[in-house]
């Protein structure tokens, strides 16, 4: 045996699992197809947003949350409706317990901290029993994605120093080995050393091969978001046709290849048609990975128009219901839409997802972060997109703006009068606090929450008021990101075979397991639940495998 356990994938899930195994006194090998510079996988690039329930940060902001409310929101979003949702449901119950229980204190003991203003993501579809967060729950890690990874990389490095953990970078798993039906190793290719920067696509040039043996293997290889062919192949009809044009919210290593390799030993992959892609994607003007897109995390005020210039219907407001918006946009026959907003809105409300787009939070710079609340200008990365981003049109009047939008799309679908009528109608609602425009009501509601009023919601104003200009239009593309289905597992992350029996020696966790059980989110996510899913399922897998290998 080369180790007690082999973990495939040195992303957040793999690091958590490997750290748990080593800390339990077992020997672990952590394999990754990428070089050491890309350790941590997607989590490094993430915003580090975590779903926590009834936290001290929420209480300090006046938010009343509870396990009961979070459970209602989770199941209202998940809408589990399939036979194979048995384990996903059990994972969902366990995960809400974790998020309302030991998640925060477990992380805190390892030095993790969160930013004190709690964000409000996925505000919902307007139904108490339906999709969405009834209250703000999105806790951003102080230090963003790297801050989530830090304790686990530290633990893994300590285990490496003590000889219990060995990293094998540029080791690409191509097959799982079995003996008598038991998974007992990994074989694959050794790729040439790579000097690309973190996150860039690396070469696939093979310089050797390997076979490694262990008593158990944990698959922690991530999802399919970087492989648009697989995304299209699994695209659910209920969301319309798959988009012809998409940009990538994840690096190229999120290639989904390991999923097929694991299926080859009989593993059961469920809910492959459930996925979580965003509709507010913009092309990164300074791309790191192929087709690199960034997600705008919008506040509630931009007006949202489809490709033909018709406003999205209520309650499809910015930040409300990601898949509802995706469904609507795909029903228009075009795979893009538009935000129209003002300089006052962009400077207060636009945030960009990703560690590199938030140098203040990532760099743990209080002074720089405080500027978000003083509202003196948009954060530097947002202004940079406004200047360099190909999806932005900035003009002083509506007529020029619409001409610019038509020139950008090349479709010439937008009519000035059609947009003007809708914007003027909305603007008339601004003078009165008692209004019938549901989006404007939503803005007033957001401003009743101090966190939003401080950093996320501009004072209501007329879009066409030149004092708040210039006018800005942003073309929004579909951005691939998360895979909600995955390998069916029990609560110990042991993988079921297609015959319904556990496959001895095989575990799966993180995005490869639909973040636990094969899809603990069901159809929709409440956000901040993915990193947490990696932590929870990686921990379960690591602990269970360490125990099982004796
Ligand atoms: C920009 C961005 C922002 C995000 N923001 C948030 C957020 O705020 N909150 C949140 O909850 N989630 C967020 N996420 C999602 C979250 O980061 C990911 O879902 C999560 O990190 C996935 O972790 P993982 O370990 O399961 O997979 P990955 O990070 O994809 O790691 C898998 C690893 O396995 C390796 N691998 C794959 N196949 C093989 C093979 N055959 N052989 C060897 N190695 C292999 C890969 O190279 C990779 O290193 C964000 C993601 C991105 C990209």
Position 379 scores a pLDDT of 84
Residue 40 CA, ligand 1 centroid: distance in Å = 8
Residue 75 CA to ligand 1 centre (angstroms): 24
Predicted confidence (pLDDT) at residue 68 exceeds the cutoff of 90: yes
* Cβ-based neighbours of 437, under 8 Å, separated by 6 or more: 425, 426, 429
What pTM was estimated for this model as a whole?
A: 0.97
236-247: per-residue pLDDT in tens? 999 999 999 999
- pLDDT, position 66: 98
Q: Cβ(13) to ligand 1 under 6 A?
A: yes
Count of C-beta atoms within a 10 Å radius of residue 407: 10
User: Residue 531 CA: which ligand 1 atom is closest?
Assistant: 11
The pLDDT, as a whole number, for residue 6 is: 98
| Ranges 359-368, 462-471, 492-501: which has the least confidence | 359-368
Rounded Cα distance, 195 and 233, in Å: 33
pLDDT at 369 exceeding the cut of 90:
no
Give the pLDDT band (50/70/90) at residue 530. Answer: very high
What torsion, rounded to 10 degrees, do the Cα atoms 129, 133, 136, 137 define?
Answer: 120
What are the beta bridge partners of residue 311? 305
Q: Return the minimum-mean-pLDDT range out of 140-154, 186-200, 361-375.
A: 361-375
The rounded distance, in Å, linking the Cα atoms of 327 and 315 is 13
Q: Is the CB of 511 under 6 A from ligand 1?
A: yes
pLDDT, tens digit (0-9, with 9 covering 90-100), for 285-318: 999 999 999 999 999 999 999 999 999 999 999 9
505 lines ligand 1 (CB under 6 A): no
Query: What is the pLDDT of the chain when averaged over all its residues?
Result: 96
Give me 332's structure tokens.
Answer: 């228009």
What are 245-254's pLDDT values in tens digits?
999 999 999 9
Tell me 294's DSSP state. Answer: E
For residue 11, the CA-to-ligand 1 centroid distance in Å is 6
Residue 9's nearest CA partner among 416, 509, 526 is 509
Mean pLDDT for 399-425 is: 98
What are the DSSP E strand ranges found in 141-272?
Answer: 165-169, 171-179, 182-191, 206-213, 216-219, 247-248, 269-270
| pLDDT at 370 > cutoff 90 | no
Closest atom of ligand 1 to CA, residue 144: 8
Smallest CA separation from ligand 1 atom 15, residue: 530
For residue 376, the model assigns a pLDDT of 67
Of ligand 1's listed atoms, the one at least distance from the Cα of 510 is 26
pLDDT score for 367: 83
Residue 236, number of CB atoms within 10 A of its CB: 15
504 pLDDT higher than 90:
yes
**Cα distances (angstroms) measured from residue 369 to each of 142, 250, 361:** 11, 25, 6
Q: How far apart are the first and last CA of the chain?
A: 14
Tell me what the mean pLDDT of segment 316-321 comes to. Answer: 96
Is the confidence at residue 7, as pLDDT, over 90? yes
Comparing 279-293, 317-331, 375-389, which segment has the lowest mean pLDDT? 375-389
Q: For ligand 1, is residue 152 a contact (CB within 6 Å)?
A: no
Give residue 371's pLDDT. Answer: 78
In eight-state DSSP terms, residue 102 is T
43 CA from centroid of ligand 1 (Å): 5
- pLDDT for 187 equals 98
Report how far residue 527's alpha carbon sits from residue 137's, in angstroms, rounded to the nearest whole number. Answer: 9
292 ligand 1 Cβ < 6 A? no
> What is the 544 CA–ligand 1 centroid distance (Å)?
22
Query: Can you read off the two tokens belonging to residue 314?
Result: 């209520």
Contact of 108 with 148, CB cutoff 8 Å: no
Q: Is the CB of 347 under 6 A from ligand 1?
A: no
pLDDT tens digits, residue range 171-221? Answer: 999 999 999 999 999 999 999 999 999 999 999 999 999 999 999 999 999
222 lines ligand 1 (CB under 6 A): yes
């Amino acid at each position: 045996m080369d180790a007690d356990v082999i973990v495939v994938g040195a992303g957040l899930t793999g690091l958590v699992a490997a750290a748990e195994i080593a800390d339990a006194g077992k020997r672990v090998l952590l394999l990754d197809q990428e070089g050491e510079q890309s350790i941590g996988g997607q989590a490094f690039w993430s915003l580090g947003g975590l779903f926590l329930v009834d936290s001290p940060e929420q209480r300090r902001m006046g938010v009343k949350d509870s396990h009961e409310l979070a459970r209602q929101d989770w199941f209202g979003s998940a809408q589990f409706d399939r036979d194979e949702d048995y384990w996903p449901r059990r994972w969902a119950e366990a995960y809400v317990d974790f998020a309302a229980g030991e998640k925060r204190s477990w992380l805190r003991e390892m030095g993790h901290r969160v930013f004190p203003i709690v964000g409000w993501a996925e505000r919902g579809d307007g139904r108490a029993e339906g999709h969405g967060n009834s209250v703000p729950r999105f806790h951003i890690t102080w230090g963003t994605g790297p801050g989530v990874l830090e304790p686990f990389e530290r633990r893994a490095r300590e285990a490496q120093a003590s000889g219990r953990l060995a990293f094998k970078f540029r080791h690409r798993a191509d097959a799982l080995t079995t003996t008598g039906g038991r998974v007992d190793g990994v074989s694959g290719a050794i790729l040439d050393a790579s000097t690309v920067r973190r996150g860039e696509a690396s070469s696939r040039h093979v310089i050797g091969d390997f076979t490694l043996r262990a008593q158990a293997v944990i698959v922690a290889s991530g999802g399919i978001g970087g492989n648009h062919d697989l995304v299209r192949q699994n695209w659910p009809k209920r969301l319309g046709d798959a988009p012809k044009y998409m940009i990538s919210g994840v690096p190229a290593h999120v290639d989904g290849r390991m999923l097929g390799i694991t299926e080859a030993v009989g593993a059961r992959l469920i809910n492959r048609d459930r996925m979580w892609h965003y509709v507010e994607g913009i092309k990164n003007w300074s791309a790191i990975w192929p087709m690199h897109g960034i997600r705008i995390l919008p506040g509630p005020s931009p007006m949202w128009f489809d490709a033909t210039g018709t406003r999205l219907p209520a309650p499809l407001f910015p930040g409300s219901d990601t898949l509802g918006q995706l469904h609507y946009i795909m029903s228009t026959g075009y795979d893009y839409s538009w935000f129209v907003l003002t300089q006052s809105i962009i400077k207060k409300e636009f945030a960009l997802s990703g560690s590199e787009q938030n140098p203040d939070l990532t760099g743990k710079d209080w002074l720089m972060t405080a500027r978000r609340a003083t509202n003196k200008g948009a954060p530097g990365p947002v202004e940079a997109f406004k200047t360099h981003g190909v999806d932005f049109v900035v003009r002083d009047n509506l007529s020029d703006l619409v001409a610019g939008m038509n020139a950008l799309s090349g479709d010439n679908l937008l009519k000035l009068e059609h947009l003007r009528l809708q914007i003027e109608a909305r603007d008339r609602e601004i003078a009165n606090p008692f209004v019938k425009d549901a989006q404007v009501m939503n803005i007033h509601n957001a401003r009743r929450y101090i966190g939003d009023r401080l950093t996320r919601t501009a004072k209501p104003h007329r879009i066409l008021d030149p004092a708040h200009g210039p006018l800005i239009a942003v073309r929004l593309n579909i951005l691939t990101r998360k895979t909600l289905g995955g390998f069916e597992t029990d609560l110990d992350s042991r993988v079921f075979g297609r015959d319904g029996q556990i496959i001895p020696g095989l575990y799966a966790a993180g995005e490869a397991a639909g973040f636990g059980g094969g899809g603990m989110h069901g159809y929709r996510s409440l956000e901040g639940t993915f990193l947490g899913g990696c932590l929870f399922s990686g921990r379960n897998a690591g602990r269970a495998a360490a125990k099982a290998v004796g």
